[in-house]
Structure 1
Amino acid sequence: MRYALLVLAAVPALAAAPAHAVDARFYASLKRLDPATRLEQVCDVEAMKQITRDDNPYRPDRAKSYVVSPPRHIGDTVKGTGGAFRSGGKWYTYSFTCKGSPDHFKVLSFTYKIGQPIPEKKWASYGLWR
C-alpha cells in the first residue's frame, strides 16, 4: 500500500513536469508495485486523461478505482463500479472497464461512465479529501 501512495503522490506531477521526465519517474515507481496494483494505477491515470479529454465539464486531478467498492480483476482487465475522481474540489463516482497490457504498464482500452457527486459528508468514510 505504501508503494501505491508513492505512485499516487507522483500523479499531480504529470501536469507540471516535462512529459519525458514524468514518464520515466512514473514508470520507475510502477515497477515497484505488484501487477494488480500497477494495473489499477495506470487505469487511474487513464481515467483522468480520458475524462479531461472528453466533452464534459470535468478536469480531474485525482482518480481512484477502489473508493466505493473494490474493482474486479480478470486477467489483464480491471472492472469497477466504485471508482471516484476529483474535479474542481469535488468528488464524483465513475464505473469503468480497463484492459491493460500483459505487463500492466500500458492501457490498451478504457471505457467509463460518470456517476453521481459524492456528498462531502461521506468523503472521510471513503478516504477522500478536499
Structure 2
Amino acid sequence: MAVSVYRGFHLQSAPNSTEVWQVKIKNHVLTGNLAAIKKSIDWWCETASLIDPREFESLNAKREESTGALHEDFNGYTLKNDTGAPNAWYCFFNGRLIKGSKLAIQKHIEAYLVAKQRAEAKQAQQKK
C-alpha cells in the first residue's frame, strides 16, 4: 500500500492495486486513479466543492475517444488538429501560429499566396 501527500491531503493506494487511490476530504472518501484524485483535490482547494474522481475519469475517457489527430498539407503548409474539434485547427505560417477552422486557415493562406503572386508580378513588370 503506497502512501503519498498532495496539497496537504494524504493519499493511499488500495490494498490490492497500485492503480486505485483514495483520499479523505471532509469525511468523504474519494476513490479513483491518481490523476483523477489529484484533480478532485485541486477542485476542492480552488472551489471548496467536491467532485467525484469518476467524473474526471469519464471526461478523460471521452477526450481520448474523440482525439482524432488530423493533419493536412495545403499549398506547402501543414494544417493540424489534435483534438478533432472543428475550430481547433492550427498552422505555423510565416513564423506565426494561426488557429481557427480549417477553411478559415486555408482562405488566409490562399489570400497571402495571391497577394504575394501579385506583388511578384508587379515587381517583375516594373523591372521591364
TM-score (norm 1): 0.22
Q: TM-score, normalised by structure 2?
A: 0.22
* Higher RCO, 1 vs 2 (CA within 8 Å, ≥6 residues apart): 1
